[in-house]
Structure formats: structure tokens, C-alpha cells
Amino acid sequence: MPSEGRLEQQLSGLVLASPWLMRALRAARALGLSDWCIGAGAVRGLVWDALHGFASEPSALSDLDLVYFDAENLSPDREAALQRRLASVHPDLPWEVTNQAAVHLWFADRFGYPVEPLPSLEAALATWPEYATAVGVALNADDSLRIIAPFGLDDLFAMTVRRNPARASLEIYRQRVAQKRYQARWPRVTVVLE
């Protein structure tokens, strides 16, 4: 298995070579948020498409997750305003904007059980349902990349879907895997069901 530093270099190379993701990162950076990233399916799909030799346009991108952390402004109106702003700049991208500091305010209504407030963006990514999905990328002011991967990049590059038990029950995880149909799009992906 390659070292974490080597995997970070590989991920950075893929991101920097992706016109659509670089456009998205520049648009997100222009919002002026202090702590943010684009993550989840956008990053996972970019890597798995590359490892499968697929074209450079995103495949099966149902949404483009821009997540940020702002404990001072938990208003859903702010999320909506940021999403509208991004959509006005790049209407071709399926933006979904979420303040991770506010997740505890709506999580119970959406998923049926309460969660504690999150202390940081990194802690938020550490609750995402699979280790391979818990990866985000931000574009710094100097055009360097910041990679947030609380569990590392091994599962992402090994194309292994494994449940993160931090928040996803086994039942919810199995439903998610069935809905996402990872292996239909990326046949070399391994799904661990327990």
C-alpha cells in the first residue's frame, strides 16, 4: 500500500487535472468561507473514475457537496444564499451546501435520532457514512490544495466501501450501499457489508 503522503500527492494530481472540480473549487473559495471543502461523492467519484480509466467529466454526480463550518451563523438561509450564489456562477454543477456546525439542528428530523453539535469541519467529515467518502478538498489562497481525510486515503484508493460506525448503523449503511450501486458504476469497487 502506498504511503499516505504519496496518496495525497496522487489525489492532488487528480484534482488539479480536473477542469470541472477546479472550477468548483475556485467558485467555492470565492465565497470567502474560513473553513470549507468540497467532498464526499465528488472526490470519491473523481478518484474511482480515474482508477477505472473513465473520462474526465464527473460520472453519476448527483450532487456536489460544499461543506463548511461556521458556528457563529447557523441559519439555513445562509446555506441557501451560498448555494444560489454558486448556482449563479456554475449552474451546470449540482451544488449542495451544508454548514456542518448546524447539522445537529436538523439531523433528528431527517434521520430519526439526535446528534451532538460538531466541533470542527474535520470532526464532521469523520462522521460521514463510509471511510472512502470521508474525504474533502479545499483550494487555498495560493492555489495549493488542503486535503481533509480523517481516516486517511487508503480505502478511497483501494476502492473499498467500508462503513464508518460513527453515525451510520449497519442497516442504514446497507440501504445506502444498495441505493448508491457503487459496483454498477465502478465494477472494481469492493463493498464490505458488515
Reply yes or no on whether the pLDDT at 59 is more than 80.
Answer: no
DSSP 3-state helix, strand, coil percentages of the chain (rounded to 5)? 45, 15, 40
* Residues 88-137: tens digit of each pLDDT: 999 999 999 999 999 999 988 988 888 999 999 999 999 999 999 999 99
Which pLDDT band, with edges at 50, 70 and 90, does 44 fall under?
very high
| DSSP labels, 103-143 | HHHHHHHHHSS--PPPSSHHHHHTTSSBTTT--EEEE-TTS
Residue 49 inside a domain? The answer is yes
Residue 185 inside a domain? The answer is no
Q: For residue 30, what are the domain limits?
A: 2-159
Residue 143 inside a domain? The answer is yes
Number of domains in the chain: 1
Residue 51 inside a domain? The answer is yes
